[in-house]
Amino acid sequence: MKYIILVTFTLFSFICSAQSLPIDFESSVTTADFIDFDGGTASVIANPQNNSGNTSAKVAQIVRDGGQLWSGSKIELSNNLDFTTDNSITMKVYSTAPAGTVVKMKLEGAGETERDVVTTLSGSWETLRWDFTGTAGTMNNIVFMFDFGNIGDGSANSTFLFDDVQQVFGGTQIDLPVDFEGSTVNYTMSDFGGNISSLVVDPTNSINRVIQVIKPVEAAAWAGTTIGTPAGFLTDIPLTLTESVMKVIVWSPDAGIPVRLKVEDSDDPTHTCETQTNTTVAGGWETIEFDFTNQAQGTESLEVGLSKGWTYNMASIFFNFDTDGATAGEKTYYFDNVVFGDVVIDLDRFTAIEGLSVYPNPSNSQWTVTSDNALITKIEVFNIEGKLIRTLTVNNTNTTIDATDLIDGLHYARVQTEAGNTVLKLLK
């Protein structure tokens, strides 16, 4: 009888200790559930920073003291994580370490993968997000590594609080063509070498969204930005020796700087092709063409890659390639409209005209374009491929564009007025 009781108790203990997301540290996870390594010590404690940023009674704490650059702790989950729908993990973090501290989250199981996110606050709670789009559903260990790359000293700056670890929907996987206007697309960029990128309102046109890339003084010469998450695009880039061009609209403060575009296989970073060209405009938008049959010196050719059966589903852009931030000084760049093939995307990227607006946008029936300060004289409507599909002759301060017979998605309107011209994005 005692053996039956022992087996039952052991089974009960195993079931009670099995963990799954979300984790809030209020009851299901205790200090004993953490597996510490290489100088990290984790525990569940009463929340010492109980405020409007996080009113939880309990939180987790990791103190890093000596050990290794990668010290931390991990929790074993009862089931593998599935990122098919909820493709990101969020977590509340509190630290007195300087903003910009790296927090690495690593998943282990049958394979492993990791993502880095940097803090943006010091002395306050904030919610950070790690994007695991495309990660195989074979991981059941979640590893927490704060201030990755430095050895902790046990001080307040080596002490980290975290709470509310959960999976969330981070948007659908990015795919070509990329215009940064979708409401459900995950536009997370993946920086490396010190770059800092973010989705922002176009500083030259308030109705447009673009990616801002800051290359700070600390940035490496090879600093760049992967267009999307480490999972790459949803579908492969259909590169061939005859269809080998990608285009990107870029804004640079300087003319004559090299811009490199690299394509690779998200599953094998050794399968790459790179090409490079220079900007020709300072302080303005221009379309840059990247032809991968003209590979950058010292990189593998597209012909060799294709002959080996390589496929490419990821692209990274490098501004002022081969010059570090200390030499160039901090610079800010922008890019938009990443496309493949013979697509006409340079629809005269003029600065926004004051008093010109379009509503409703998006619309299923019609858009109304109004101008407060000048007559509208002409409107040309283009599809996503840059092909002209409609021309309206106008002599008024407002007009409508019929949307009923247009396909769903993005369209462009090039608007000519007596005060100048601009391009509007129309969403149906």
Residue 419 lies in a domain: yes
What is the CB neighbour count within 10 angstroms for residue 244?
A: 19
What is the CB neighbour count within 10 angstroms for residue 270?
A: 8
Q: Count Cβ atoms within 10 A of the Cβ of residue 107 and give its class: 0-12 exposed, 13-18 middle, 19 or more buried.
A: buried
Residue 347 lies in a domain: no
> Is 50 exceeded by the pLDDT of residue 176?
yes
Residue 231 lies in a domain: yes
Residue 13 lies in a domain: no
Residue 14 lies in a domain: no
Residues 145, 195, single domain; the answer is: no
Q: Which of 283, 314, 340 is the last residue of a domain?
A: 340
Residues 196, 336, single domain; the answer is: yes
Rounded mean pLDDT of 338-351?
Answer: 64
pLDDT confidence of 346, banded at 50, 70, 90?
low
Confidence at residue 418, expressed as pLDDT on a 0 to 100 scale: 85
pLDDT confidence of 342, banded at 50, 70, 90?
low
Q: Can you give the three-state secondary structure of 58-98, one letter per residue?
A: EEEEEEEEECCCCCEEEEEECCCCCCCCCCEEEEEEEECCC
- Phi/psi at 10 (5° precision): -65, -45
- Residues 230-268: tens digit of each pLDDT: 889 999 999 999 999 999 999 999 999 999 999 999 989
Residue 179 lies in a domain: no
d(CA 383, CA 179): 13
What are the distances in angstroms from CA 320 to CA 75, 203, 294, 324? 42, 21, 18, 8
Average pLDDT along the chain: 90
Rounded mean pLDDT of 18-28?
Answer: 90
Q: How many domains does the chain have?
A: 3
Q: Which of 135, 168, 201 is the last residue of a domain?
A: 168
Confidence at residue 349, expressed as pLDDT on a 0 to 100 scale: 52
- Residues 376-412: tens digit of each pLDDT: 999 989 887 667 889 999 999 999 999 999 888 778 8
Give residue 223's domain range: 190-340
- Residues 114-151: tens digit of each pLDDT: 999 989 999 999 999 999 988 989 999 999 999 999 99
Instruction: Assign residue 333 the CATH number of its domain.
Output: 2.60.120
Rounded mean pLDDT of 415-428?
Answer: 82
pTM attached to this predicted model? 0.69
Residues 149, 227, single domain; the answer is: no
d(CA 39, CA 70): 9
Percent pLDDT > 90 in the chain is 70
Name the token pair of 61.
């704490």
Confidence at residue 286, expressed as pLDDT on a 0 to 100 scale: 85
Rounded mean pLDDT of 191-206?
Answer: 89
pLDDT confidence of 352, banded at 50, 70, 90?
low
Residues 333, 390, single domain; the answer is: no
Residues 102, 55, single domain; the answer is: yes
Residues 33, 125, single domain; the answer is: yes
- 42-46, 208-212, 310-314, 325-329: which has the minimum mean pLDDT? 208-212
Report whether the peptide linkage leading into residue 258 is cis, meaning its omega lies within 30 degrees of zero: no
- Phi/psi at 32 (5° precision): -65, -20
Rounded mean pLDDT of 329-337?
Answer: 96
Residues 216, 362 contacting (CB under 8 angstroms): no
Confidence at residue 407, expressed as pLDDT on a 0 to 100 scale: 86
Residues 154, 213, single domain; the answer is: no
Instruction: Assign residue 421 the CATH number of its domain.
Output: 2.60.40.1930
Residues 216, 333, single domain; the answer is: yes
d(CA 122, CA 327): 29
> Is 90 exceeded by the pLDDT of residue 276?
yes
Residues 156, 30, single domain; the answer is: yes
> Is 70 exceeded by the pLDDT of residue 302?
yes
Name the token pair of 246.
């990608």
- Phi/psi at 365 (5° precision): -115, -55
**In this structure, what DSSP letter does residue 155 have?**
S
pLDDT confidence of 344, banded at 50, 70, 90?
low
Q: Which of 306, 340, 374 is the last residue of a domain?
A: 340
Name the token pair of 270.
């050794």
- Residues 72-100: tens digit of each pLDDT: 999 999 999 999 889 999 999 999 999 98
Among the listed residues 107, 92, 109, the one whose alpha carbon sits nearest the alpha carbon of residue 165:
92
Residues 323, 253, single domain; the answer is: yes
> Is 60 exceeded by the pLDDT of residue 10?
no
What are the distances in angstroms from CA 123 to CA 41, 93, 94, 102, 335? 21, 10, 7, 15, 33
> Is 50 exceeded by the pLDDT of residue 301?
yes
Instruction: Assign residue 142 the CATH number of its domain.
Output: 2.60.120.260
pLDDT confidence of 17, banded at 50, 70, 90?
low
- Residues 43-76: tens digit of each pLDDT: 999 999 999 999 999 999 999 999 999 999 999 9
Confidence at residue 156, expressed as pLDDT on a 0 to 100 scale: 97
Residue 178 lies in a domain: no
Percent pLDDT > 70 in the chain is 92
Residues 91, 210, single domain; the answer is: no
**In this structure, what DSSP letter does residue 31 have?**
G
Residues 108, 241, single domain; the answer is: no
Residue 175 lies in a domain: no
Gap between the terminal Cα atoms of the chain:
70
- Phi/psi at 306 (5° precision): -65, -35
